[in-house]
Amino acid sequence: MAKTAYVTDLKSLQGECSANYLRLTRLLGDLEAGEVREVALKGREMRFGSLWLEVLERAPYTTIVRVSQSGVLDAIIEPLRMRVHLYHDVRMAEVTDFQRQRHFDGRYRYPNARMHQPDEKLQLNRFLGEWLEYGLAHGHSLDIPALR
């Protein structure tokens, strides 16, 4: 049976990036460059960490945000962090840096030297979406009225 090459699912990628734009703009509110927002993350009974949103740059058409998380496992594993570009003209947010790795291709041959999945870019943007959605659903921030 012949293997077929992975074809980038642009519709899913663009849909995820559009949804992430909306999620991020809700969480960021009116933060300016250099400002940080902490969103406390809670489980059923206790707080287990924080989602951190830092606006690195803000321009008319683009905003760059660092998204990271701190929590109870920080002493054991490296905290998660990514850089996200928000493109205001097309209302999309795209992961451009994850754990200090940059420039993700739309598709990869598999296997490859870094062991990226064929749809690595889509998976990273989906992960960001799940992360932000959890923050919106279960997070609490003192400096904004409500995340829900």
C-alpha to C-alpha distances, 41 to 69, 72, 137, 138, 140, nearest whole angstrom? 9, 11, 9, 6, 7
CB 83 within 8 A of CB 95: yes
Do residues 13 and 35 touch, judged by C-beta distance below 8 A?
Answer: no
Q: What is the pLDDT of residue 148?
A: 45
Q: What residues in the chain have per-residue pLDDT under 70?
A: 1-8, 72-75, 99-119, 142-148
Residue 16 placed within a domain: no
Residue 66 lies in a domain: yes
User: Is 121 domain-assigned?
Assistant: yes
- Tokens standing for 27? 């969480």
65: domain range?
Answer: 33-139
> For residue 53, is it within any domain?
yes
- Report the C-alpha gap between 58 and 13 in whole angstroms: 24
Give tens-digit pLDDT for 113-132: 665 565 678 888 998 999 89
pTM assigned to the model: 0.79
Q: Residue 28 falls within a domain, yes or no?
A: no
Q: What is the DSSP letter of 31?
A: P
Does 60 fall in a domain?
yes
Q: Domain for residue 48, yes or no?
A: yes
What pLDDT was estimated at residue 65?
Answer: 97
Q: Does a structural domain hold residue 146?
A: no
